Amino acid sequence: MKNKILITGGVGYIGSHTVVELHNANFEVIIVDDLSNSSVSVLKQIEKITGVAPKFYELDVSKYDQLETIFKENQGIDAIIHFAAAKAVGESVDNPLKYYKNNLVSLLNLIECQKKFNVNNMVFSSSCTVYGQPNVLPVTEQTPRQDAESPYGNTKRVGEDMISDSVSAYSQLNAIALRYFNPIGAHESALIGELPIGVPQNLVPFISQTAAGIREKLLVFGDDYDTKDGSAIRDFINVVDLAKAHVVALKRLLDKKNKTSFEIFNLGTGNGYSVLELIKTFEEVTGVKVNYEIAPRRAGDIEKIWADTTFANEELGWKAEKSLQETLLSVWNWQKNITN
């Protein structure tokens, strides 16, 4: 009998890729998504890739009454992977209450339902933003969390605390938080990728849309950071590698291989690339020039961060495998597929 997994935000960018990997690993998937930053058409693309139409509910996880109906209608859910969250750093600075309501109330509701319906396992979508601007690089899981640079980052920090306190108080609960660095790329089929509603808030979709002529130019926020070329540095991880890590973490919980009731893992490549390096690499692998200009630094952005992935590599037996070149080419193939 297949394990039944509830995926919140499963039509979104990382969620949809994880749904595919869960199907590949023979899990039964139930998707919940409010479609606020995703398209229902992604469900058809998932079906094309996997041959399975996932069960789908359109609802807002921050509304408890709506969420509770999912658990009532789907008895025997074995675990939750919680993606559903607003995730744009800049927008969170401008509209913090949206982020606190959406990201924290939804998590609170899920934990309440876990207790009520005896769903004891959760994989939580966290973020390297909990580290703020670290004093020492690369960051390990023991790197002290800093005061968040943005309300978005703060919701991930508080979310981790909510889970940690809950698993301490309710002995049946177990959870793994995956702190990811910067997910980019698309599925090799070019059927699913990162397609935000409206103007992209993330770097790589803006690069590909500019290359495709959809956007006039890309703004590079800051060229005066203390980095090799003045632009900010990030650890860019392929979304399929990231999705596979969720399956590994999920199996760890279901097989009771977790060492403590709440575990935390960094998910990155261990390499830092600057924004300007990323643009140059995109141009090299695609042969397409990207029109960009330098703009002032953006509130909430940090200067540089990349992961030490040793713990995830050794304890989970997971490692990011896809190169930056391969990942950026997948972005362009996806962009051409949806533009044509």
Q: Which CATH architecture has domain 203-234+270-335?
A: Alpha-Beta Complex (3.90)
How do the domains of the chain map onto residue ranges?
4-184+236-267, 203-234+270-335
Give the E-state strand segments of the chain in sequence order. 4-8, 28-33, 55-58, 79-82, 121-127, 174-180, 182-184, 218-221, 233-234, 236-238, 262-267, 273-274, 292-295
One of 152, 180, 225, 273 is an active-site residue; which one?
Answer: 152
Q: Is 152 a catalytic residue?
A: yes
Query: DSSP class of residue 130?
Result: G
DSSP label at 171? Answer: T
Residue 58's H or E segment, with its range, is strand 55-58
| CA atoms of 206 and 44, how far apart (whole Å) | 24
Per-residue pLDDT of the chain (340 residues; tens, 9 = 90+): 899 999 999 999 999 999 999 999 999 999 999 998 889 999 999 999 999 999 999 999 999 999 999 999 999 999 999 999 988 877 888 999 999 999 999 999 999 999 999 999 999 999 998 998 898 999 999 999 988 878 988 999 999 999 999 999 999 999 999 999 999 999 999 999 998 777 787 899 999 999 999 999 999 999 999 999 999 999 999 999 999 999 999 999 999 999 999 999 999 999 999 999 999 999 999 999 999 999 999 887 889 999 999 999 999 999 999 999 999 999 999 999 998 7
CA dihedral 137, 138, 139, 142 (to 10 degrees): -90
Q: Which of these CATH numbers, 3.40.1590.10, 3.40.50.880, 3.40.50.720, 3.30.300.30, describes 4-184+236-267?
A: 3.40.50.720
